[in-house]
Amino acid sequence: QVQLVESGGGLVQAGGSLRLSCAASGRTFSRYAMGWFRQAPGKEREFVATLNWTGGRTRYADSVKGRFTIARDNAKNTVYLQMNSLKPEDTAVYYCAADTVSRLRTDVTTYDYWGQGTQVTVSS
């Protein structure tokens, strides 16, 4: 059982930055691949970024490459999403998720645990 709690969302102007955090429970957190997904109103949840359990390998959606950075601090049981150069189209609820089976997967259906989400709103 893993519990995930996102924080750090808010309102930011286009071109600005936010850092999202995902605090996880459990002593085995460091063995899980982690991912960030987002869901805009009226749209399906989509992949944003993922990294393996050591943090040494990452993958990003084309829409955020060069702007977003995913990282983890296993000592703190925390995953981060640094979001720079934000655009209005980045507006969504952002969710962190844990993949207990594999790594670097982008399919929302392959993740086992989910946080409650945090709202990110980017104004023009």
List CB contacts of 69: < 8 A, sequence separation 6 or more. 49, 80, 81, 82, 84
Q: What are phi and psi of 98, to 5 degrees?
A: -115, 135
Q: Which two tokens stand for residue 59?
A: 């993958």
Q: Calculate mean pLDDT across residues 76-94.
A: 97
Measuring CA to CA, how many Å separate 9 from each of 1, 2, 48, 77?
A: 25, 21, 15, 19
- Give the tens place of pLDDT for each residue, 49-62: 999 988 889 999 99
Q: What is the pLDDT, as a whole number, of residue 31?
A: 85
- Per-residue pLDDT tens over the stretch 7-18: 999 999 999 999
Q: Nearest CA to 80 among 70, 88, 89, 90? A: 70
How confident is the model at residue 121, as a pLDDT? 98
Residue-level pLDDT at 124: 93
